[in-house]
Chain A
Amino acid sequence: MSDPKSIAKDPGGQLLIAPAGSVVVSTDAMLASVDALRALEAELLIDLRRALAADAVWDGMPITDVAPALERARDLCGLGRETIARAAADYTATERAIEALQHELGARIAALLGPAAFGLLVTLITTNSGLLLALALGGWAAIPDDGDGKLDTLHDFFRDHPELITSPEFVRFVSVVSTSVDDAMPHPFGLSLGPSGGAEASAATLIALGSTVGMFRETSVVAERVSTTTGGTAPLGSRDRLDRVPEDELVRIEKYEAPGQPPRYAVFIGPTETFSPFADHEPRDMTSNVHGVAGLSPAALRAVEQAMSDVGITRHDEVQVVGFSQGGLVATMIAGSGDWNVVGVETFGAPAGSVQLPDGVAGLAIRNTDDFIPALGGPQLDTHLVQVEREAYAGDGPIVTDEVVPAHQRSAYERTATAVDNAESSTIRQQIATLDAFATDYLDAPGGTATVMTYDATRVDGFTRVR
Chain B
Amino acid sequence: MPSAPVDPVAVRTALERQLALLSMIGDHLRAAVTAPSPLHSADWQGRAADQAAEFVVELQARLRDAENVTDDTVRRVRLQIAMLS
Instruction: Name A residues whose Cβ lies closer than 8 Å to a Cβ of B.
Output: 14, 27-30, 32-33, 36-37, 39-40, 43-44, 46-47, 50-51, 53-54, 57-61, 63, 65-66, 69-70, 72-73, 76-77, 80, 83, 87, 424
Contacts and interface: CB of A to CB of B under 8 A. Distances in A.
Contact of B25 (A61, A70, A76): A70
A46 B29 CA distance: 11
Interface in B35-78: 38-44, 48, 51, 55, 58-59, 62-63, 65-66, 69-70, 72-73, 76-77
26 contacts: A29-B41, A33-B39, A37-B38, A37-B39, A39-B38, A40-B32, A40-B38, A47-B24, A50-B21, A50-B25, A51-B21, A53-B21, A54-B21, A59-B7, A59-B11, A59-B14, A60-B14, A66-B73, A70-B25, A72-B65, A73-B59, A73-B65, A76-B62, A77-B38, A77-B59, A80-B55
B29 A47 contact: yes
A87 B46 CA distance: 14
A77 B73 CA distance: 24
A50 B13 CA distance: 17
Nearest to B31: A43
Given A27-B43, A54-B17, A61-B76, 8 more contacts: A29-B43, A43-B28, A47-B29, A50-B25, A51-B25, A57-B17, A58-B14, A59-B7
The secondary structure that dominates the B interface is: helix
Contacts of B41: 29, 33
Nearest to B32: A40
Contacts of B66: 47, 66, 69-70, 72-73
Nearest to A51: B25
B15 A50 contact: no
Contacts of A77: 38, 59
A54 B18 contact: yes
Given A60-B18, A63-B18, A69-B65, A424 B40 contact: yes
| Max chain A Cβ within 10 angstroms of own Cβ: one of B24, B25, B41, B62 | B25
B15 A60 contact: yes
A66 B15 contact: no
A73 B17 contact: no
Nearest to B6: A59
B59 A66 contact: no
Interface residues of B, number: 38
Contact of A80 (B18, B29, B39, B42): B39
B69 A65 contact: yes
A30 B55 CA distance: 14
Contacts of A70: 25, 66
Contact of B48 (A36, A51, A87): A87
B11 to A, nearest CB: 5
B12 to A, nearest CB: 9
Contacts of A69: 62, 65-66, 69-70
Nearest to A59: B14
Nearest to A53: B21
A32 B43 CA distance: 12
Nearest to A15: B43
B73 A63 contact: yes
Nearest to B13: A59
A58 B58 CA distance: 35
Nearest to A84: B39
A61 B15 contact: yes
B28 A29 contact: no
Shortest Cβ-Cβ A-B pairs, 5 listed: A36-B38, A59-B14, A69-B66, A60-B14, A29-B40
A139 to B, nearest CB: 44
Given A29-B41, A70-B25, A61 B69 contact: no
Nearest to A36: B38
B54 to A, nearest CB: 11
Contacts of A59: 7, 10-11, 13-14
Contacts of B24: 47, 50
A47 B25 CA distance: 5
B15 A76 contact: no
Nearest to B25: A47
A14 B25 contact: no
Contact of A66 (B13, B43, B69, B80): B69
A145 B13 CA distance: 94
